């Protein structure tokens, strides 16, 4: 009882003196929840090491300009001298569907192209095709670019030397998603050499692709989604170096070097600005020389001196309708050709029994294709003859 009395006296006294008395809940020690510690994986460590190595060997280039555009239309903003070739969307070029984010690089003579296409095993690979007999040959897979190493290759570009070849893939040396790689064609072995990562500032922890070098105007372009919101990309225009020139990593503050590697501020690459101004003049020259195309434009050769680019130019009665039918036939031919190419690729991987079951279907489609091509040629000839009579 004395102890209870003493306790009853002390508590009111403490309250009177303004001392807080902890409740039972307050006296209970609160548990501090520890944040889960992220364990760095071996792959993450390796990727960071690659990024550090690339940062230390960042190429010293002049980045002339940059523009943010929707990814779906980035090709519309590519400015290249026509004499270095062109880049087209696969669907548009081959008049097919199903390859929206796949691209074709056509050489300056219009006789060879490079593109990415799905293979029989569901992966993608890079192919080349030649324009022979008024049509593109079946694609031949490029040798030397191992698709088990350089996964999902796309965005090809061959320079005018016919040797230096750029593409993007998710490769073993990547530091993000897609990285840009460069390789060279060996004419003796008819194969490409082992690809190399082009490094920073071209590659980043984002997706980087579609490197194109215009060696006539001395300009280069590439696309990246680094620091961009979903659906957008940034196109960088730069001046390619004659030799591999890098920043002096040993004598440069690490943060400055990192900023240059990530292209945080392109003005930091301009130097005295003279080279950039000269490059801007060349870009303006390309823009002024580019033909202005109209919506729905095409190219229909009537004779050596006449090429139609719009339906309104057809003069003979019924030719507009005939040409519309011809376009539909051409689209059907491309779709059938594309389907045949996939089946032929699959056929090559089958057992004898599997090939036998596929053989009749392939032969049937080959006959359909031959018939369609004959009909299209005849219709094209009819349209052309009618128009010549009206000229």
**Residue 44: Cβ-neighbour burial (10 angstroms; 0-12, 13-18, 19+):** exposed
Which is higher by pLDDT, 21 or 103?
103
Structure confidence at residue 45 (pLDDT): 77
pLDDT of residue 34: 64
- Res 296: pLDDT: 47
pLDDT of residue 1: 46
pLDDT category at 295 given cuts 50, 70, 90 is very low
Beta bridge partner(s), residue 271? none
Cβ atoms within 10 A of the Cβ of 275, count?
16
At 228-264, the pLDDT tens digits run: 999 899 999 999 988 888 999 889 999 999 999 999 9
Helix ranges restricted to H, the chain:
2-16, 24-27, 42-56, 90-94, 254-262, 274-289, 319-347, 352-390
- In terms of C-beta density within 10 A (0-12 exposed, 13-18 middle, 19 or more buried), how is residue 85 classed? buried
Q: How many CA atoms lie less than 13 Å away from 24 in the CB half-sphere?
A: 0
Tokens of 61: 């280039």
**What is the side-by-side order of every strand in the sheet holding 219-224?**
62-70, 232-239, 219-224, 208-214
CB-facing half-sphere around the CA of 328: CA atoms within 13 A: 6
**pTM exceeding the 0.75 threshold for the entire prediction:** no
Per-residue b or e along 338-372, where b marks 16 or more CB atoms closer than 10 Å to that residue's CB:
bebbebebbbeeeeeeeeeeeeeebeebeeebeeb
Decide which of 33 and 18 is more confident: 33
Cβ distance 359 to 340 under 8 Å? no
What do you get for the CA distance between the two ends of the chain, in Å? 125
The per-residue pLDDT for 31 is: 60
Give the torsion sign (CA, 326, 328, 329, 334).
Answer: positive
DSSP 217: T
pLDDT category, 38, cuts 50, 70, 90? Answer: low
- Mean pLDDT score of the chain, rounded to an integer? 84
Closest to 377 measured CA to CA, from 138, 136, 135? 135
Cα 207 from Cα 264, distance rounded (Å):
16
Rounded to whole angstroms, the Cα distance separating 62 from 155 reads: 23
Two tokens, residue 239: 């001046």
Which has more confidence, 198 or 2?
198
Structure tokens at 135: 């049509």
Q: Six-digit token pair at 317?
A: 């009665």
Find out whether 333 and 379 touch, Cβ atoms under 8 Å: no
CA pair distance 137, 149, nearest whole angstrom = 27
Span 37-50, mean pLDDT?
74
Q: What is the pLDDT of residue 113?
A: 95
Q: Is the pLDDT of residue 112 over 90?
A: yes
pLDDT band at 294 (very low <50, low <70, confident <90, very high): very low
Residues 6+ apart with CB under 8 A from 250: none
User: pLDDT grade, residue 35 (50/70/90)?
Assistant: low
Q: What is the mean pLDDT of residues 370-377?
A: 90
pLDDT band at 25 (very low <50, low <70, confident <90, very high): very low
Stretch 38-52: mean pLDDT: 76
**Confidence at 46, pLDDT banded by 50, 70, 90:** confident
> Could you read off the pLDDT of 115-172 as tens digits, one per residue?
998 887 778 899 999 988 778 898 999 999 998 899 999 999 999 999 999 999 997 7
Q: What confidence score (pLDDT) does residue 36 get?
A: 66
Any residues with CB less than 8 A from the CB of 145 and at least 6 apart, and which? 125, 126, 153, 167, 183, 192, 195
For residue 36, give the 3-state DSSP assignment.
coil
Percent of the chain at pLDDT > 70 equals 86
* pLDDT of 95: 81
175-203: average pLDDT: 93
């Amino acid at each position: 009882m004395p102890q209870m009395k003493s306790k009853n006296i002390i508590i009111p006294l403490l309250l009177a003196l303004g001392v807080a008395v902890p409740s039972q809940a307050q006296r209970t020690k609160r548990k501090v929840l520890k944040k889960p510690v992220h364990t760095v994986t071996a792959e993450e460590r390796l990727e960071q090491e690659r990024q550090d190595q690339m940062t230390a060997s960042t190429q010293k280039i002049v980045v002339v300009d940059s523009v943010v555009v929707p990814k779906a239309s980035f090709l519309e903003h590519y400015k290249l001298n026509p004499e270095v070739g062109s880049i087209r969307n696969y669907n548009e070029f081959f008049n097919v569907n199903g390859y929206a984010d796949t691209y074709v690089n056509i050489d300056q003579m219009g006789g060879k192209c490079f593109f990415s296409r799905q293979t029989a095993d569901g992966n993608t690979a890079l192919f080349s095709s030649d324009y022979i007999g008024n049509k593109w040959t079946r694609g031949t897979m490029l040798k030397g670019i191992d698709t088990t190493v350089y996964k999902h290759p796309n965005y090809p570009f061959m320079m005018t030397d016919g040797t230096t070849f750029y593409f993007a893939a998710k490769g073993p040396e990547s530091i993000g998603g897609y990285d840009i790689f460069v390789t060279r064609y060996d004419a003796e072995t008819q194969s490409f050499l082992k690809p190399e990562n082009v490094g920073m500032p071209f590659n980043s922890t984002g997706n980087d692709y579609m490197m194109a070098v215009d060696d006539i105007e001395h300009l280069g372009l590439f696309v990246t989604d680094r620091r961009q919101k979903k659906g957008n990309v940034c196109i960088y225009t730069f001046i390619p170096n004659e030799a591999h020139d890098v920043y002096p990593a040993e004598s440069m503050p690490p943060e400055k070097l990192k900023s240059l590697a990530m292209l945080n501020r392109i003005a930091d690459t301009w130097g005295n600005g003279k080279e950039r101004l000269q490059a801007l003049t060349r870009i303006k020259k390309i823009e002024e020389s580019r033909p202005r195309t109209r919506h729905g434009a095409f190219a229909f050769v009537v004779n050596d001196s006449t090429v139609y680019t719009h339906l309104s130019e057809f003069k003979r009665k019924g030719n507009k309708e005939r040409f519309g039918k011809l376009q539909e036939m051409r689209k059907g031919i491309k779709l059938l050709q594309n389907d045949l190419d996939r089946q032929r690729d699959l056929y090559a991987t089958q057992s004898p029994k599997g090939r036998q079951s596929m053989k009749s279907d392939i032969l049937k489609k080959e006959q359909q294709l031959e018939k369609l091509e004959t009909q299209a040629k005849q219709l094209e000839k009819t349209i052309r003859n009618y128009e010549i009579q009206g000229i």
